[in-house]
Amino acid sequence: MTTHRIMLSTAIALAVLLDVSANWLAAHLLLTVGPFLIPGGTFLFALGFTTYDDIRRQYGLWPTLSAVVLGFAASMLYAAVWGGGVGRIAVAGLLALACSSATDLLAQRIALRRPIWQYVLFSNAVSLLVDTVVFASIAFAALPPEARLRIIEGQYLAKIAMTLVSIPLVYGVRAHVAPSVSPGRPA
C-alpha cells in the first residue's frame, strides 16, 4: 500500500472515530462553561470537521464524502447495538453535517487557494455556524429556547476555539507527509 493510500485511510479512520466519539459524548455530556452550555462532543467534532477539511484539500471530494458516510454509519451502528440517545444525536449530526458540508464546500471553493490557516478558519467559521444552529435546533429541540441559544453560543465558540487549536496540527501533519502525498498543493 502506498504512503498516499495509508495516509488517506488513516485520515478517514480518524474522521470516523472523531465522529462516533463526538456523537456519543454529545448524547451523554452537557458541560456548563460560564453562561454557555456545550455538548461534550463539540470539541471532538471540531477536530473531525478540520479533518474533513484536510481530507477534502489533500484527497478530494469523494474521499471526504466517504468519511462522512462512514462516520454516520458507524454512529448508527453503535446506536442500534447500544442505544443511549446516540441515534438521535447522530441523525441531528448528519442533517447538520449535510447542511454545513454544502456550506463548507462553497466556502472551500472561495478559500481553496489561500494558505491553510485562512482556508480552514474561513471555511470552518462559516460552515460550523450552520452546523451548530441546525444540530442544536434538532438535537435539543425539547429544551427551552433560552437553553438552546446558550448551547448554540457555547458550541460555536468551542468549535472556533478547537479550529484555532487544530490549525497548527494540520500544518504539522502536512509538513510530515506533504512531500510524498500532495506535491504542488498550496500550503
Lowest mean pLDDT among 39-53, 76-90, 121-135: 76-90
Beta bridge partners of 38: 31
In this predicted model, what pLDDT tens digit does every residue of 9-21 receive, in sequence order?
999 999 999 988 8
pTM: 0.73
Q: What is the rounded distance in angstroms from the CA atom of residue 115 to the CA atom of residue 148?
A: 35
Q: What is the rounded distance in angstroms from the CA atom of residue 24 to the CA atom of residue 177?
A: 31
* Residue at grid coordinates 452546523: 131
Q: What is the three-class DSSP state of 185?
A: coil
CA 14 to chain CA centroid, Å, is 11
In this predicted model, what pLDDT tens digit does every residue of 23-72 receive, in sequence order?
888 888 889 989 888 988 888 888 887 788 788 888 988 998 899 889 88
Closest CA to 107 of 95, 119, 93, 94: 119
